[in-house]
C-alpha cells in the first residue's frame, strides 16, 4: 500500500532532463533502431535507409568522408529516437508512480442476504456491491449506494486533503485505488477489470495506445510529400551531373537527400504530441484522446459556470446602508454584533467589512450575549443582549418580525432592497427590536483578475458564456461586472445542451465543464467536455477530459495547452522547411564545383571545401534536432494574443530565423572542422 502523498498532482515536478529519464531514453534510442519501429516514421525511415546505403558504400569504397557521413546520419536517427524516448520517458515515470498505487487489493463483496465474502479486486464485475470501511482501499471504480465517507484521493489527484463522498447526488463516485478514511460505504462497481479509471490513466500518461491526432496525421502526410519530392530531385541530379560530365558519389547524394527532407520536424513530431498530452497531465487534466487536446486549441466558445469560476461562490457583504436616521456606521456596528457568532461565509464577511470600512474591531463578547442561530423556519439569525434583540435576515422575514412586535417598516427599506436585488446582489435587513436599522448588501463577488482573463480570451477570439441558475437580472449584473460576452440565466441541463447545439450550428467549437449526472448530455455534446473528478461517473464517462483538481477555471488553461501544441508543431515545421535554403547553398556549389569551377559564386558562406561543406550541412542537420528537443518537450511559449500578433512573432522567429540560423550554424561547424584540421 503506497499511497504516497504528493503535492503537485500526478505529474509531479520532474525537471526537463531528469537523470533517470535521460539514461532510460538513451537506452531506448538504440532499441528503437528496429526497422519495424522506424517504418512508422516515414521521414526518419528514409534517413535510416540512407544510413544503411552510406554504410555499405563506406565499406566498399572506404574513406574518412563516407564514414563521417555515415556516423552523422546514424546519429540523426538516434537523436530522433532520443527525442521520442525523452517524451515517452516522462510519461512512463508518471505511470510508474501511478502503478505503485494500484496494489493488489482484496474486496469485501456483498453477496445476496448481505453476506460478505472476500475476493481479489480483479475478480469484481460491474454491478457487484462491495463494502469499504476506514483504511480500506477502494477496489475499483464505483458509485456509493449507501453511506457517507471521507476519502483520501491523493493517489489520483495529488491533493492531500480528504474529500467527502456520499450516496446519491453529484458526489457519489469513487475511484479505485483511493482510500476510505472514515465511516462505512457500500459501493456498486461500475468498471470492468483492467478498465478502471486508474488503468486508463496509466495507459494515457504512458502513451501506450497513443493514436496520432487528426492534425498530426495531416502534417505527417505533408512531411511525406516533402520527402517524396526530394527523392526525384536527388536521383535526377545524378543524371544531370552525368550530363555535365561530373559524377556525384552516392554518399553525397544521400547526404543531400537527408539534408533536404524535413528531418527536424520529422524527428520531433511525435515528441511534440506526447509532450502536449504530458503538459495536460501536469495541469492535472486527463485528456481521454489527443483529438480532444487539439480541439481545445480550436475552441471558440467557453461555457463557464458562474459559481466557482467567475465568482467565489459565497456572497460577501459589500455595503452597509442605514435607514430612518440610522447612520451607516451605527448600522455597521449593529450588523457586526449580530454576526459575531455567525460562522457562515456571509456572516464572517460582515465582520470583515465592518472592520475594513469603519475600523470597528473590539472583540470582547459580553457574558450577557445570547446568540440566536439561523434556522430554516425563521430565516434570521442574531443576538440578544439583555432587552436588546438584534436580528438580520431575508427581507420578508425581518419585516414580519418587526411588524409582529408592533413596529413599522419604512418604505425606504423596500426601495433599497429592490435596488440591491436589481443590481444582482442580495439584501440582508438588520433590525433592532421594533426598528429596522438598515440593509447590508451581500454581493456575489467576482474573482479578482477574471475580467482581464476574459479580455485576453476575447483577444484570442474566444467567446465566454456564463452559465448560472440565477434569474436574468442577477445574471446580467454579474455578467457585465465579470466582462463575459454572454450569459445563460436560469440554466437547466436542457437549456445548456440547447445552447451548445446552437453554437455548434455556426461551426463553432464549444468547451464546457460539468460534474453532475444531468450535465452528461451537454458534456458529451461539447467538443471539449471537461468533467470534474469530484463529479459523477456518468459525467466522467460523457466528457473527453477529466480535471483531477475539479477546478472550474481549468478550462482556460486547457485551451492554452491545446493552442501551444499546434503552435509548436507549426513553428518547427516552418523552421525545418526554412532551413533547406542554407543547406542548398552549402551543398550545391560543393557538388558541382568540379564541373563548373565558376559556381563557387554560389558558395556564399565561403565554406572551406566541398567535403567540409557537405559535412557541415549534415552535422548541422543532426545537431539541430538535439538543440530543439527542449523546445519540443516544453512547447513554444504561448502568450494570449490576437492571431495576427501571434503569427507575426512566430513567422519572424521560426520562419525568418529558420532561414538565417542554418547559415550561421553551418559556417560555424565548417570553421570548427577546418580549425581542428579534421579536413
* 401 part of the interface to other proteins, by CB under 8 A: no
* 507 part of the interface to other proteins, by CB under 8 A: yes
Using the 8-state DSSP alphabet, how is residue 137 labeled?
A: B
Please report, for residues 116, 374, 418, 493, 588, the alpha-carbon distance to residue 468 in angstroms, rounded to integers and kept in the order given: 45, 26, 21, 11, 66
Burial class, 511, CB count within 10 angstroms (exposed 0-12 / middle 13-18 / buried 19+): buried
CB of 527 to other proteins, least distance (A): 11
CA distance 58 to 53: 9
The sign of the dihedral angle between the CA atoms of 497, 499, 503, 508 is negative
Through-space distance between the first and last CA atoms of the chain, rounded to whole angstroms: 61
* 460 part of the interface to other proteins, by CB under 8 A: yes
Closest among 32, 35, 118, 123 to 80, alpha carbons compared = 32
* Cβ nearer to other proteins, comparing 46 with 354: 46
Starting at the earlier edge strand, list the strands of the sheet with 426-432: 311-322, 435-446, 426-432, 388-393, 380-385, 369-372
Total residues interacting with other proteins, rule: CB under 8 A: 75
* 620 part of the interface to other proteins, by CB under 8 A: no
* 247 part of the interface to other proteins, by CB under 8 A: no
Closest among 419, 422, 418 to 473, alpha carbons compared = 422
Mask: binding to other proteins, 248-267, rule CB under 8 A, as x and -?
------------x-------
Please report, for residues 227, 232, 247, the alpha-carbon distance to residue 239 in angstroms, rounded to integers and kept in the order given: 20, 11, 9
Closest among 466, 514, 491, 451 to 301, alpha carbons compared = 466
Near other proteins by CB under 8 A: residue from 203, 314, 433, 650: 650
* 225 part of the interface to other proteins, by CB under 8 A: yes
Scanning 69-77, 98-106, 325-333, 575-583 for contacts with other proteins by CB under 8 A, the matching segment is 575-583
* 24 part of the interface to other proteins, by CB under 8 A: no
Near other proteins by CB under 8 A: residue from 42, 193, 493, 655: 655
Near other proteins by CB under 8 A: residue from 294, 342, 519, 527: 294
Near other proteins by CB under 8 A: residue from 132, 219, 442, 618: 219
What is the secondary structure of 79-98 as a DSSP string?
HHHHHHHHHHHHHHHHHHHH
In the three-class reduction of DSSP (H, G, I as helix; E, B as strand; rest coil), residue 150 is classed as strand
Near other proteins by CB under 8 A: residue from 151, 462, 523, 633: 462
* 240 part of the interface to other proteins, by CB under 8 A: yes
Closest among 569, 562, 568, 653 to 219, alpha carbons compared = 569
Residues with Cβ within 8 Å of residue 505, at least 6 apart in sequence: none
Among the options 136, 141, 199, 305, which is catalytic? 305
* 602 part of the interface to other proteins, by CB under 8 A: yes
Scanning 80-88, 294-302, 514-522, 612-620 for contacts with other proteins by CB under 8 A, the matching segment is 294-302
* 577 part of the interface to other proteins, by CB under 8 A: yes
CB of 245 to other proteins, least distance (A): 9
Q: Helix-strand-coil percent breakdown of the chain, rounded to 5?
A: 55, 15, 30
Question: For this structure, is 305 an active site residue?
Answer: yes
Scanning 10-18, 316-324, 343-351, 504-512 for contacts with other proteins by CB under 8 A, the matching segment is 504-512
* Cβ nearer to other proteins, comparing 226 with 488: 226
* 463 part of the interface to other proteins, by CB under 8 A: yes
CB of 219 to other proteins, least distance (A): 8
* 654 part of the interface to other proteins, by CB under 8 A: yes
The cell for 517 is: 449526472
Scanning 102-110, 304-312, 513-521, 641-649 for contacts with other proteins by CB under 8 A, the matching segment is 641-649
The cell for 345 is: 461565509
Where are any strands of DSSP class E within 482-592? 486-488, 510-514, 528-532, 545-547
Residues 361-400 close enough to bind other proteins by CB under 8 A: none
Scanning 94-102, 239-247, 399-407, 474-482 for contacts with other proteins by CB under 8 A, the matching segment is 239-247
Near other proteins by CB under 8 A: residue from 24, 33, 588, 626: 588
* 458 part of the interface to other proteins, by CB under 8 A: yes
* 230 part of the interface to other proteins, by CB under 8 A: yes
Residues marked as catalytic? 305
Amino acid at each position: 500500500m503506497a499511497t504516497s502523498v504528493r503535492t503537485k498532482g500526478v505529474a509531479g515536478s520532474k525537471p526537463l532532463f531528469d537523470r533517470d529519464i535521460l539514461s532510460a531514453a538513451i537506452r531506448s534510442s538504440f532499441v528503437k533502431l528496429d526497422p519495424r519501429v522506424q517504418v512508422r516514421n516515414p521521414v526518419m525511415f528514409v534517413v535510416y535507409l540512407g544510413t544503411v546505403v552510406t554504410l555499405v558504400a563506406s565499406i566498399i569504397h572506404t574513406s574518412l568522408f563516407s564514414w563521417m557521413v555515415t556516423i552523422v546520419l546514424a546519429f540523426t536517427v538516434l537523436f530522433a529516437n532520443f527525442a521520442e524516448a525523452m517524451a515517452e520517458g516522462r510519461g512512463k515515470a508518471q505511470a510508474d508512480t501511478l502503478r505503485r498505487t494500484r496494489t493488489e487489493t482484496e474486496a469485501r463483496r456483498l453477496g445476496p442476504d448481505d453476506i460478505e465474502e472476500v475476493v481479489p479486486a480483479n475478480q469484481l464485475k460491474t454491478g457487484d456491491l462491495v463494502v469499504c470501511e476506514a483504511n480500506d482501499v477502494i477496489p475499483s471504480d464505483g458509485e456509493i449506494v449507501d453511506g457517507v465517507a471521507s476519502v483520501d484521493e491523493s493517489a489520483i489527484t495529488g491533493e492531500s486533503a480528504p474529500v467527502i463522498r456520499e450516496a446519491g447526488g453529484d458526489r457519489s463516485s469513487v475511484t479505485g485505488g483511493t482510500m476510505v478514511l472514515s465511516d462505512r460505504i457500500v459501493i456498486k462497481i461500475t468498471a470492468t477489470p483492467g478498465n478502471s479509471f486508474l488503468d486508463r490513466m496509466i495507459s494515457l500518461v504512458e502513451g501506450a495506445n497513443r493514436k496520432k491526432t487528426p492534425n498530426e496525421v495531416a502534417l505527417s502526410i505533408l512531411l511525406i510529400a516533402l520527402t517524396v519530392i526530394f527523392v526525384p530531385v536527388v536521383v535526377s541530379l545524378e543524371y544531370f551531373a552525368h550530363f555535365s560530365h561530373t559524377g556525384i558519389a552516392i554518399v553525397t547524394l544521400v547526404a543531400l537527400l537527408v539534408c533536404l527532407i524535413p528531418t527536424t520536424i520529422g524527428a520531433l513530431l511525435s515528441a511534440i504530441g506526447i509532450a502536449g498530452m504530458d503538459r495536460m497531465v501536469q495541469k492535472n487534466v486527463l485528456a481521454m484522446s489527443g483529438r480532444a487536446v487539439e480541439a481545445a486549441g480550436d475552441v471558440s466558445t467557453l461555457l463557464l459556470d458562474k459559481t466557482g469560476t467567475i465568482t467565489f461562490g459565497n456572497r460577501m457583504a459589500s455595503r452597509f446602508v442605514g435607514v430612518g436616521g440610522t447612520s451607516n456606521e451605527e448600522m455597521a456596528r449593529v450588523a457586526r454584533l449580530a454576526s459575531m457568532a455567525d460562522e457562515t461565509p456571509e456572516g464572517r464577511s460582515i465582520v470583515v467589512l465592518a472592520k475594513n470600512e469603519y475600523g470597528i474591531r473590539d472583540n470582547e463578547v459580553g457574558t450577557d450575549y445570547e446568540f440566536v442561530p439561523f434556522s430554516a423556519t425563521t430565516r434570521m439569525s442574531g443576538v440578544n443582549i439583555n432587552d436588546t434583540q438584534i436580528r438580520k435576515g431575508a427581507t420578508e422575514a425581518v419585516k414580519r418580525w418587526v411588524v409582529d412586535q408592533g413596529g413599522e417598516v419604512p418604505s425606504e427599506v423596500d426601495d433599497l432592497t429592490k435596488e440591491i436585488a436589481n443590481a444582482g446582489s442580495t439584501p440582508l435587513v438588520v433590525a433592532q427590536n421594533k426598528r429596522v436599522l438598515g440593509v447590508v448588501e451581500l454581493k456575489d463577488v467576482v474573482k479578482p483578475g477574471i475580467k482581464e482573463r476574459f479580455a485576453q480570451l476575447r483577444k484570442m477570439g474566444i467567446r465566454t458564456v456564463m452559465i448560472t441558475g440565477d434569474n436574468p437580472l442577477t445574471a446580467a449584473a454579474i455578467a457585465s461586472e465579470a466582462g463575459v460576452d454572454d450569459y445563460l440565466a436560469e440554466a437547466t441541463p436542457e437549456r445548456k445542451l440547447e445552447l451548445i447545439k446552437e453554437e455548434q450550428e455556426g461551426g463553432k467549437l464549444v468547451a464546457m465543464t460539468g460534474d453532475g449526472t444531468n450535465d452528461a448530455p451537454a458534456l458529451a455534446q461539447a467538443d471539449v467536455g471537461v468533467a470534474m473528478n469530484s463529479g459523477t461517473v456518468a459525467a466522467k464517462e460523457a466528457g473527453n477530459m477529466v480535471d483531477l483538481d475539479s477546478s472550474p477555471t481549468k478550462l482556460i488553461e486547457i485551451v492554452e495547452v491545446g493552442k501551444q501544441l499546434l503552435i509548436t508543431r507549426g513553428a518547427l515545421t516552418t523552421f525545418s522547411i526554412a532551413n533547406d535554403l542554407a543547406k542548398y547553398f552549402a551543398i550545391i556549389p560543393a557538388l558541382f564545383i568540379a564541373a563548373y569551377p565558376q559556381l563557387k559564386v554560389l558558395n556564399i558562406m565561403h565554406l572551406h571545401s566541398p567535403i567540409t561543406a557537405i559535412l557541415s550541412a549534415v552535422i548541422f542537420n543532426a545537431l539541430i534536432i538535439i538543440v530543439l528537443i527542449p523546445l519540443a518537450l516544453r512547447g513554444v511559449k504561448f502568450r494570449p494574443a490576437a492571431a495576427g500578433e501571434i503569427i507575426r512573432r512566430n513567422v519572424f522567429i521560426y520562419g525568418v530565423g529558420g532561414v538565417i540560423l542554418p547559415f550561421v550554424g553551418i559556417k560555424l561547424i565548417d570553421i570548427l572542422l577546418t580549425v581542428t584540421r579534421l579536413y
